[in-house]
Amino acid sequence: MTKQTNRIFTGHEAAIAYALAAERIFNNDYDFLNTNPSVMPIFVSQLFQSLEISIKHAGIASGLFTEDEARARQMRSGHGIKELATLAVEKLGGNPFEPILMAMTYFNTYQNSKEIIRKMICGQEFEKTRECYASRSLGYAQVSNGDFALINDIPSWIAAVKETASNLPRIIDILSQWKASPSKSKHFAIWVRSL
């Protein structure tokens, strides 16, 4: 018997919603975050939640990997952002993280978008943050000093994550073409010509 899941919102909508929630928390007000430091881990968690859903939704919707693969124990029950990106790269081939980073940020217009998403997925400075996110400590603000990192340019951070979520339909198209192609080329441009 096939398990049927009823969903009100799509992964695309959920990814955007978490980015919007982070944007609303920040609201272009550094003072709010500075005077309410306990909100900071929750704010960071919203951005990671958006990126997790973006990677997972893009991978599943494009047929790159299955929902079961995305939720497997080695994927930290679907919350391991680095693990999900690694799974995608294994399916696409290529250098570690480059294929998924290219696909996820190709349509983003913010200048540092790819670098911001890279830091979140595999940056050394975010190793503890990813751990706290995957274990859900970040969302509950159960963190210690040094448990989570920040990107100083918060508006660009929000924009990079939100834009990635907003571009999911085009990202899915790229990944679908890449997966279906018999070409062994690791050059990204081959899959974006017709988009």
Would you list the DSSP string of 94-141? SSTTHHHHHHHHTT--STTHHHHHHHHHH-GGGHHHHHHHHTTTTTTT
The pLDDT assigned to 147 comes to: 84
The pLDDT assigned to 173 comes to: 92
The pLDDT assigned to 171 comes to: 94
The pLDDT assigned to 104 comes to: 94
pLDDT digits (tens, 9 = 90+) for 22-45: 999 999 999 999 999 999 999 999
pLDDT by position in tens, the chain (length 195): 455 566 788 999 999 999 999 999 999 999 999 999 999 999 999 999 999 999 999 999 999 999 888 887 665 555 789 999 999 988 887 778 888 999 999 999 988 999 999 999 999 999 999 999 988 888 878 888 888 899 999 999 999 999 999 999 999 998 998 888 777 666 555 556 554
Domain boundaries, the chain: 11-180
Q: Which two tokens stand for residue 59?
A: 């991978």
